[in-house]
Structure 1
């Protein structure tokens, strides 16, 4: 089955390699199937990895992205490759989290978006970073992100 609406996609259905950096990653979008409805799209990345910009040591997080589309939805393979491109990217937890959120907002112009990045401890302290575009639309069902406070997450 071939749908020509998706011919412009560069990665889905094709062999793709992990981008060298988040800046080099190509995030793609497709038309949202239902405009004007308050439905939430959730992506969960329980094995997100980046590098500490000072020590070069790996940092790990459980990232949850929720958004209410307007005209666009993110193509999931491109999002997977984008998130994977952080594996060799050196930045603090807060910078990684906001970089992801801002890139998605720029690409999708969603009605609403929130991100929760639940970072595993380094130096004995877990760091959780949260951001959202503003108040969610009235009547939207927003489930809890489902990640418990740190008590040996897993």
Structure 2
């Protein structure tokens, strides 16, 4: 099964502007060519940014998104544009992390999904946020997300 990059229904292969807000961003999905197999797909987002809804100052995080697809895969260009739309979006760490996980679940109906938001300190306190849909399928290898807990210079 192949996906044509000139498919006019996808953002892939098309000039696409960065959406100004996450609500305006379009996430695309494509058929999973291995829907009969349980496997884990991981997206690592080391430069995620959003804005503090109180101060307007930027917040930075590494996001780790792991999912076991069913019939659909998220198309990565659309995911990149969606996540980029948070750059000027004011929301707390918990809201950003959980909203991204829920939106992906609504789009994909995966067999399993988890998201880890590893946020840099705000006000001297790092806030890490974790959300998942339930237990991972038993036969799937789910590696550690590999992001160490925040540790200062001490």
Q: Take 1:131 and 1:8, find their aligned partners in 2: how far apart are those partners?
A: 33
> After superposition, what is the alpha-carbon deviation per residue over 1:97-136, rounded to whole angstroms, capped at 9, x for unaligned?
0110000000000000000000000111100000000001
Gaps of 5+ in 1: none
Q: Take 1:65 and 1:23, find their aligned partners in 2: how far apart are those partners?
A: 19
Give 1:43 deviation, angstroms.
0.3
State the TM-score, normalized to the length of structure 1: 0.94
Give 1:7 deviation, angstroms.
1.8
C-alpha RMSD over aligned residues: 1.7
Partner of 1:61: 61
For residues 18 and 5 of structure 1, do their structure 2 counterparts lie closer, same or farther at Cα, with a shift above 3 Å needed?
Answer: closer
- The answer to whether the 8 Å contact 1:6/1:30 transfers is no
Partner of 2:72: 72
For residues 109 and 73 of structure 1, do their structure 2 counterparts lie closer, same or farther at Cα, with a shift above 3 Å needed?
Answer: same
Runs of 4+ in 1 over 3 A off after TM superposition: 2-6
Gaps of 5+ in 2: none
Partner of 2:46: 46
State the TM-score, normalized to the length of structure 2: 0.94
Q: Take 2:115 and 2:131, find their aligned partners in 1: how far apart are those partners?
A: 5
Q: Take 1:131 and 1:60, find their aligned partners in 2: how far apart are those partners?
A: 18
